[in-house]
Amino acid sequence: MNTIIQKYGGTSVATKESRKQVVAKIVEKHNENYNVVVVVSAIGRKGNPYSTDSLIDLINKNFISSRELDMILSCGEIISAVVLANALSEEGYKSIVYTGYQAGIKTTKNFGKAEIIKIEPDKINNSLNKGYIVIVAGFQGATEDGEITTLGRGGSDITAIALGKALNSKLVEIYSDVDGIMTADPNIVPDARSLESMGYSEVYQLAEDGAKVIHPKAVELAQKYNIPIKIKNTFSNKQGTTIESTETLILNGKKDFKNEKIITAITYKKGRVQVIIRIDEESDDTEKLMEQLTFHNISIDLINFFIDKKVFTINEEDLNIVEKILVKGDYNYELIKNCCKLSAIGYKMQGVPGVMGRIVKSLSRENIRILQTSDSHSTIWCLIKEKDTNKALTALHKEFKLYE
Ligand code: ASP
Ligand code: MG
Same domain, 145 and 289: no
Same domain, 224 and 288: no
Same domain, 209 and 271: no
Percent residues over pLDDT 90 in the chain: 94
CB 217 within 8 A of CB 158: yes
Same domain, 365 and 238: no
Same domain, 127 and 196: yes
Say which DSSP state 299 is in: -
- Best mutation site among 139, 140, 150, 219 for ligand 1 pocket (most ligand atoms within 8 Å of CB): 139
State whether the beta carbon of 343 lies less than 6 angstroms from ligand 1.
Answer: no
Instruction: Report how many domains make up the chain.
Output: 2
Q: What is the pLDDT of residues 342-382, one digit of tens each?
A: 999 999 998 899 999 999 999 999 999 999 999 999 999 99
Q: What is the pLDDT of residues 120-133, one digit of tens each?
A: 999 999 999 999 99
The answer to the question of whether 7 is labelled as a binding residue is yes
Q: Give the Å distance between the CA of 140 and the centre of ligand 2.
A: 14
CB 228 within 8 A of CB 244: yes
Of 55, 8, 401, the closest CA to residue 232 belongs to 8
Q: If phi over 0 gives left and psi between -120 and 50 gives alpha, with beta otherwise, what is residue 109?
A: alpha
Q: How far apart are CA 84 and CA 42, in angstroms?
A: 11
The answer to the question of whether 10 is labelled as a binding residue is yes
Q: How many helices (H) and strands (E) does the chain have?
A: 12, 18
The residue among 39 and 253 whose pLDDT is bigger is 39
Q: How far apart are CA 217 and CA 223, in angstroms?
A: 10
State whether the beta carbon of 41 lies less than 6 angstroms from ligand 1.
Answer: yes
Q: What is the pLDDT of residues 131-181, one digit of tens each?
A: 999 999 999 999 999 999 999 999 999 999 999 999 999 999 999 999 999
Q: What is the pLDDT of residues 284-335, one digit of tens each?
A: 889 999 999 999 999 999 999 999 999 999 999 999 999 999 999 999 999 9
Task: From 228, 251, 274, give the residue that closes a domain.
Answer: 251
Q: What is the pLDDT of residues 83-96, one digit of tens each?
A: 999 999 999 999 99
Q: Residue 47: exposed, middle, or buried by beta-carbon count in 10 A (0-12, 13-18, 19+)?
A: exposed
Using CA positions, which residue lies closest to atom 8 of ligand 1? 154
Walk across the sheet containing 171-176 and list its strands: 95-98, 133-137, 35-40, 3-8, 171-176, 229-233, 241-244, 197-199
Task: From 251, 283, 299, give the residue that closes a domain.
Answer: 251
What was the pLDDT predicted at 257? Answer: 83
Same domain, 221 and 317: no
CA angle in degrees (0–180, nearest 5) for 12-151-53: 55
Per-residue pLDDT at 41 exceeds 90 = yes
The answer to the question of whether 108 is labelled as a binding residue is no
Q: Indicate whether 404 belongs to any domain.
A: no
What was the pLDDT predicted at 191? Answer: 96
Instruction: Write the single-letter amino acid at 137.
Output: A
- Read off the pLDDT of each residue in 188-210 and give the average, rounded to a whole number: 96
Domain region containing 310: 265-399
Q: Which ligand is nearest to the CA of 151?
A: 1
**Length of the chain as a residue count:** 404
Walk across the sheet containing 105-107 and list its strands: 116-119, 105-107, 140-142, 148-150
- Mean pLDDT of all residues belonging to the chain: 96
Task: From 217, 251, 285, give the residue that closes a domain.
Answer: 251
**Taking each helix axis from N to C terminus, what angle separates 319-328 and 286-295, rounded to the nearest 10 degrees?**
140
State whether the beta carbon of 10 lies less than 6 angstroms from ligand 1.
Answer: yes
Q: How confident is residue 280, by pLDDT bands cut at 50, 70 and 90? A: confident
- Read off the pLDDT of each residue in 31-49 and give the average, rounded to a whole number: 96
Per-residue pLDDT at 259 exceeds 90 = no
Q: Indicate whether 392 belongs to any domain.
A: yes
Q: Give the Å distance between the CA of 150 and the centre of ligand 1.
A: 10
Q: Indicate whether 200 belongs to any domain.
A: yes
Q: Indicate whether 180 belongs to any domain.
A: yes
Per-residue pLDDT at 258 exceeds 90 = no
Three-state SS at 249? helix
| DSSP for 164-178, written as a single string | HHHTT-SEEEEEESS
Using CA positions, which residue lies closest to atom 9 of ligand 1? 153
Q: Give the Å distance between the CA of 54 and the centre of ligand 2.
A: 16
CA distances from 36 to 28, 97, 262 (A): 10, 12, 38
Q: How confident is residue 256, by pLDDT bands cut at 50, 70 and 90? A: confident
Q: What is the CATH number of the domain that holds 143?
A: 3.40.1160.10
Same domain, 160 and 298: no
Same domain, 225 and 286: no
What was the pLDDT predicted at 345? Answer: 97
What was the pLDDT predicted at 1? Answer: 80
Q: What is the CATH number of the domain that holds 374?
A: 3.30.2130.10
State whether the beta carbon of 100 lies less than 6 angstroms from ligand 1.
Answer: no
Q: Indicate whether 256 belongs to any domain.
A: no
What was the pLDDT predicted at 367? Answer: 98
Same domain, 97 and 227: yes
What was the pLDDT predicted at 203? Answer: 97
CB 286 within 8 A of CB 279: yes
What was the pLDDT predicted at 283? Answer: 78
Q: Indicate whether 296 belongs to any domain.
A: yes
Same domain, 225 and 326: no
State whether the beta carbon of 155 lies less than 6 angstroms from ligand 1.
Answer: yes
The answer to the question of whether 173 is labelled as a binding residue is no
Per-residue pLDDT at 195 exceeds 90 = yes
Q: Indicate whether 259 belongs to any domain.
A: no
The residue among 184 and 285 whose pLDDT is bigger is 184
Say which DSSP state 116 is in: E
State whether the beta carbon of 199 lies less than 6 angstroms from ligand 1.
Answer: no
Of 297, 295, 322, the closest CA to residue 113 belongs to 297
- Beta bridge partners, 111, equal none
Same domain, 84 and 217: yes
What was the pLDDT predicted at 351? Answer: 87
Q: Give the Å distance between the CA of 376 and the centre of ligand 1.
A: 30
- Best mutation site among 51, 80, 156 for ligand 1 pocket (most ligand atoms within 8 Å of CB): 156
CA distances from 295 to 164, 172, 290 (A): 37, 39, 8
Same domain, 40 and 184: yes
Q: Indicate whether 258 belongs to any domain.
A: no
**Residue 358 CB neighbour total at 10 angstroms:** 16
